């Protein structure tokens, strides 16, 4: 774990947006300031796992000219929390054997819980990289990262234990969840996701607005924990 801070710095540099992307600086500065991981601050991940996930989600929903992405929205933290809870443990799922590979119509049939799938797949990906003479995912450049994500998505990479496609699908699904769920779960920080698409949050009453056809809804974004007081100036 001692090597982590240095590794983090490499990662940070690699992920700064290309000069051409016009991202208001305050986003980048703020977001990076509080997303740098400190050992021991995670609920489920080991630091190296967090590093992987943060790098991956930053490619799945990148920081670009449209605004900040999944990393800035805190999605890696969101996933960390989810995996440490009932979802990560597949608490409500039917997890009794016998375990068989089913047809795709029969849905999820892995013995691994979501938390176990992440742990296994991330370790497998690391192994795959070192066996194939490649730099670890989080340390390589964004083009190579995108390529590797595409390869996982299409099953072009075969991992030692975890099914690559299933892992990719879960990672993508959880990333979208983290980007678009209520901020109280740690992602969608400052309503980054909701503001990008124009969802005002759980506003509850649209009786007066529903027949204002074609008009933008202009009330400020809210979440279940209330208004985004400190940031409304930015929106």
Partner 1 sequence: MATRLPHVDVVLVGFGWTASILAQELTDEGLNVLAIERGSFRDTVPDFATTQIQDELRYAVRNELFEEPERETLTFRNSMDQTALPMRHLGSFKPAAGAGGAGVHWNGQNWRFLPTDFVTRSHTEQRYGKNFIPAGMTIQDWGITYDDLEPFYDRFEYLCGISGQAGNVNGEIQAGGNPFEGPRKRGFPLPPLKRSYGTVLFDKAAKEVGYKPFPCPAANTSEAYKNIYGVQMGQCTFCGFCEWFGCGNYSKSSPQTTVFPVLLKKDNFKLRTHASVTKVLLDNTGKRATGVVYVDLQGREYEQPADLVILTAFAQHNVHLMLLSGIGKPYDPVKNEGVVGRNYAYQITSSVDVFLNDVVNPFMGAGALGQAIDEFNGDNFDHGPEKFIGGGYIALWTTGGRPILQHHLPKDAPKWGSGWKKAMKDNYLRTVSLATHGSVMSYRDAYLDLDPTYRDVYGNPLLRLTFDFHDNEHRMSNFLTDKAQGIAKAMKAREIHANPRKGHYTIVPYQTTHNTGGAAMGTDPRTSAVNRYLQSWDVPNVFVVGSCAFPQNAGYNPTGTVGALAYWTAHALRTQYLKKPGPLVSA
Least Å from the CB of residue 206 to partner 1: 4
Residues in the interface with partner 1 (CB under 8 A) total 59
- Residue choice 55, 60, 76, 115 for contact with partner 1 (CB under 8 A): 60
**HEC letters along the chain:** CCCHHHHHHHHHHHHCCCCCCCCCHHHHHHHHHHHCCCCCCCCCCCHHHHHHHHHHHHHHCCCECCECCCCCCCHHHHHHHHHHCCCCCCCCCCCCCCCCCCCHHHCCCCCCCHHHHHHHHHHHHHHHHHHCCCCCHHHCCHHHHHHHHHHHHCCCCCCCCCCHHHHHHHHHHHHHHHHHCCHHHCCCHHHHHHHHHCCCCCCCCCCCCCCCCCCCCCCCCEECCEECHHHHHHC
Closer of 47 and 58 to partner 1 (Cβ): 58
Least Å from the CB of residue 208 to partner 1: 10
Could you give the C-alpha distances from 158 to 60, 125, 144, 154, 176, in angstroms and in order?
A: 20, 9, 17, 10, 24
Closer of 126 and 153 to partner 1 (Cβ): 153
Q: State yes or no: residue 214 binds partner 1 (CB under 8 A).
A: yes
Touching partner 1, residues 156-185 (CB under 8 A): 172, 175-177, 180-182, 185
Closer of 8 and 179 to partner 1 (Cβ): 179
Q: Which stretch binds partner 1 (CB under 8 A): 22-30, 54-62, 119-127, 159-167?
A: 54-62
Least Å from the CB of residue 39 to partner 1: 28
Under a CB-based contact definition with an 8 Å cutoff, are residues 79 and 53 in contact? yes
Q: State yes or no: residue 66 binds partner 1 (CB under 8 A).
A: yes
Q: Which stretch binds partner 1 (CB under 8 A): 26-34, 102-110, 121-129, 131-139?
A: 102-110
Closer of 51 and 221 to partner 1 (Cβ): 221
Closer of 47 and 88 to partner 1 (Cβ): 88
- Residue choice 47, 117, 193, 228 for contact with partner 1 (CB under 8 A): 193
42: phi > 0 → left, psi -120 to 50 → alpha, else beta; which? beta
Residue in this structure with the two tokens 């799945």, named with its chain if needed: 60
Q: State yes or no: residue 108 binds partner 1 (CB under 8 A).
A: yes
Binding positions for partner 1, rule: CB under 8 A:
59-62, 64, 66, 69, 86-87, 90-96, 98, 100, 102-109, 146, 149, 153, 172, 175-177, 180-182, 185, 193-194, 196-200, 202-207, 209-211, 213-217, 224
């Amino acid at each position: 774990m001692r090597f982590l801070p240095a590794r983090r710095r490499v990662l940070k540099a690699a992920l700064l947006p290309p000069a051409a992307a016009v991202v208001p600086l305050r986003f980048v500065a703020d977001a990076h300031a509080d997303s740098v991981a400190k050992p021991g601050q995670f609920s489920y991940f080991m630091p190296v796992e967090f590093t992987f996930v943060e790098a991956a989600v930053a490619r799945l929903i990148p920081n670009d000219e449209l605004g900040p992405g999944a990393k800035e929205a805190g999605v890696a933290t969101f996933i960390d929390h989810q995996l440490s809870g009932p979802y990560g443990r597949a608490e409500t799922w039917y997890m009794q054997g016998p375990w068989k590979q089913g047809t795709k119509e029969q849905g999820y049939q892995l013995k691994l819980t979501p938390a176990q799938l992440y742990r296994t797949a991330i370790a497998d990906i690391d192994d795959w990289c070192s066996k194939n003479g490649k730099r670890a995912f989080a340390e390589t450049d964004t083009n190579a990262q995108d390529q590797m994500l595409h390869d996982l998505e299409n099953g072009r990479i075969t991992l030692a234990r975890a099914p690559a496609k299933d892992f990719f699908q879960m990672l993508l699904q959880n990333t979208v969840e983290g980007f678009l769920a209520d901020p109280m779960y740690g992602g969608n920080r400052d309503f980054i996701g909701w503001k990008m698409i124009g969802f005002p949050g759980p506003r509850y009453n649209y009786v007066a607005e529903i027949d204002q056809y074609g008009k933008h809804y202009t009330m400020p974004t809210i979440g279940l924990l209330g208004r985004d007081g400190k940031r409304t100036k930015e929106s």
